[in-house]
Amino acid sequence: MLSKSIETALNKQIRIEAESSQVYLAMAVWAEVKGLEGISNFMYDQSDEEREHMLKLVKFVNERGGHAHISELNAPNVTFNSFQEMFKKLLEHEVFVSESINELVHISLQEKDYATHNFLQWYVAEQIEEEAVARTILDKINMIGDDKGGLYLFDRDIQQLTVSSAAQTPGAGI
Ligand code: FEO
């Protein structure tokens, strides 16, 4: 059975994961409108993954005798000045999510809720992977800068990056 404070904290995370899905969906749409299909597909996939992160939390809260709260969401950024800016925001967002997961882990230990603590370890590992992928992408994009040819090649290569990182760590992504 979840304590009230754990239930509240998990519900806050449900909202964050749902908002993450919207944040990446908006990035996917922007990239698609800009004609970069590879980046767009990558972001659509990330958006789907965030929805899975949210659903995993929803199921856990309900299975542990709580009530998952489906709330209204903050509107995401829908336009960007550049792909560099978009990927910078992506990394910043993942760092924010990691901090939120860390806080949840902290609360679960304070409450001596070891079942929730154990459940959260999946998210801790996932965040390490997601931050690493986001940093790799941002490094590459920073090198490309405003070079259109470089961006075109990156748009093709980002699919490989997804496939190869997924091959190394099943289910991993942003
Ligand atoms: Fe669910 Fe990308 O954090």
Number of domains in the chain: 1
- Measured over the CA atoms of residue 21, residue 23, residue 72 and residue 102, the dihedral's sign is positive
Burial readout 81-97 (b: 16 or more C-beta within 10 A, e: otherwise): eebbebbbbbbebbeeb
Angle, CA of 156, 157 and 163, to the nearest 5°: 115
CA torsion 165→171→173→174, rounded to 10°?
A: -160
* 1-42 residue pLDDT tens: 899 999 999 999 999 999 999 999 999 999 999 999 999 999
Q: Considering only CA atoms, which residue is closest to atom 1 of ligand 1?
A: 50
| 169 within domain boundaries | no
CATH assignment at residue 57: 1.20.1260.10
pLDDT band of residue 162 (cuts 50, 70, 90) is low
Give this prediction's pTM: 0.91
Please say if the pLDDT value at position 161 is more than 90: no
Instruction: Describe the crossing of helices 148-168 and 37-63 by its angle, rounded to 10 degrees.
Output: 40
| 172 within domain boundaries | no
Please say if the pLDDT value at position 48 is more than 60: yes
pLDDT band of residue 139 (cuts 50, 70, 90) is very high
For residue 105, the Cα-to-chain-centroid distance in whole angstroms is 17
CA of 146 to the centre of ligand 1 (A): 28
The domain in which residue 13 lies consists of 4-71+80-160
| 168 within domain boundaries | no
Q: Considering only CA atoms, which residue is closest to atom 2 of ligand 1?
A: 174
